[in-house]
Amino acid sequence: MKVSAAAAAAAALLVVVVAAAQAEASELKLGYYGKTCRGWENVVKYHVAKAIRANRASGAALVRLIFHDCFVRGCDASVLLDPTPANPHTEKTAPINIGLAAFEVIDEIKAALEERCPGTVSCSDILVFAARDASSILSNGHVHFDPPAGRLDGKVSRAADAQRDLPDSTFTIGELIRNFRRKNFTVEELVILSGAHAIGVGHCSSFRARLTSPPSQIVPAYRNLLSGRCAAGPDPVVPNNVRDEDPRAVAAAFPSFLKKLRRSGDFLDNSYYHNNLARIVTFNSDWQLLTEKEALGHVKEYAENGTLWDEDFSDALVKLSKLPMPPRSKGEIRSHCRVVNGHHHHH
C-alpha cells in the first residue's frame, strides 16, 4: 500500500499531537473515559466497596489519600510512588505522611483496569474516584459528587514537597489559614475539609502536646483517655473520632461519654463539629478552629446542619480534585501506580 506524502505528514503530526497530550495535562472533563474505558467507574466502586467491607479503615485511608495527593503537586498520584535507589525520599516517606494506607486497594483497581483497557486510566484518576466512592460509602451516600477525569500521573515525588505543602496537626489557626490560602482554599473550606476527622485514626506522635493541654483546650477525661491509649506503645494509633473509641477505655476514663459511642466506626458525618465544640478532638489543628471568629462560626454552622456539611464537603472534594500539576510538568499514564513508567516493577 502506497502512502502519499501528505498522508504520511498528517500521520506524523498526529503522533506529535498525541505525545503532547501525554505530556501536558489537558482540561479535565466529565465522562473523560466514556469512549476509551466504558464502565471503569464501576470497577473502582466494586473494589472500594469490597475493601471497605473487609475493613472500614481502608475507606478512611482512601479519603485521606485525595487530600495528601492533591495538596502536593496537584492531583498527580505523586503520593503513590514508592522510594527507589534513585529517589529514596518520595512523598510517602515524609513524616507528615505517617500512616498513609490503602495503597493496595489502588494497586488492585489499577491491575483490573489495565486488564480491561490497557494504558488508559491514570492512577491519579483512580485515586480521586476511589476517594469519592469511599466517602460515599462511609457516609451512607450522603457525600456524593461527580468529579471530572483526565488527570495525568506525575514523575516527580519528593518528601520535602509534602513537608512544605501539607498542614501539620500541630499548626495554629494562623498557620492553617495561610496553608490553605496558598492552595486557594478559604477559611470555610479549611473548616469543611477538617470535618474528615470524623473518620480514621491519628498517631499519638501527631498530638503528643495535647496530652498536657489545659482543660480550656481539651476535656480532662478525654485527655486522660488519650494518655492511657498513648502509653500502650511507642506510637500507637487512636480513633480520630471519640465516638469510635473502645468502650472499655471510655468506661474507664470517660464514662459519661459511653452513651454517645456508635456501633459502626468510621461513619462520615458532621460529628466532628460536635466533638470539636465539646473539646473532645485529638489534634491541635482541630481545636485551633475554635480560636478564630470566622472558623468558629463555621464549626457551629456545621454542628447544627449535617446536610449542609454533606453538600459542602462534596463540593470541597471536587475543588480539591481539580488542583493542577505545576506548570510545564510532564505527566503520563503509569502502568503500575507505585513506579514511573520505564522502571522495572517487582512484586
Does the annotation flag 146 for ligand binding? Answer: no
344 tagged catalytic: no
Confirm or deny that 69 is annotated as ligand binding: yes
Is residue 91 part of an annotated ligand binding site? yes
Tell me if 214 is assigned to a ligand binding site. no
Specify burial of residue 163 (Cβ count, 10 A radius: 0-12, 13-18, 19+).
middle
Residues 6 or more apart in contact with residue 328 via CB below 8 angstroms: 24
Contact between 338 and 81 (Cβ < 8 Å): yes
For 167, which DSSP code?
P
Phi, psi values for residue 214, rounded to 5°: -70, 160
167 is in an annotated binding site: yes
* CB atoms near residue 117 (< 10 Å): 15
Coil, helix or strand for 90?
Answer: coil
**DSSP state string for 159-220:** HHHHHHHSPPTT--HHHHHHHHHHTT--HHHHHHHHGGGGSSEEEGGGSGGGGG--TTTS-H
Tell me the three-class secondary structure of 311-332, residue by residue: HHHHHHHHHHHCCCCCCCCCEE
Local structure of 202: helix, strand or coil: strand
**269 carries a ligand binding annotation:** yes
Was 76 annotated as part of a binding site? Answer: yes
Residue 197 is labelled as binding a ligand = yes
**Strand pairing partners for 203?**
237
Q: Could you tell me the CA-to-CA distances from 212 to 208, 216, 231 in Å, in that order? A: 8, 12, 14
Please answer whether residues 302 and 309 qualify as being in contact, where contact means their C-beta atoms are separated by less than 8 angstroms: yes
From the candidates 47, 68, 142, 336, give the one annotated as an active-site residue.
68
Q: Which of 50, 52, 13, 5 is nearest to 265 (CA)?
A: 52
Distances (CA, A) of 55 to 18, 58, 61, 125, 260: 41, 6, 10, 23, 22
CA distance 41 to 146: 11
CB of 258 within 8 A of CB of 264? Answer: no
Q: How many CA atoms lie within 13 A of 62 on its CB side?
A: 34
- Could you tell me which residues are annotated as the binding site for substrate? 167
Which parts are annotated binding residues?
A: 69, 72, 74, 76, 78, 91, 167, 197, 246, 269
Provide the annotated binding site for heme b. 197
| Binding-site residues for Ca(2+) | 69, 72, 74, 76, 78, 91, 246, 269
Catalytic residues: 68
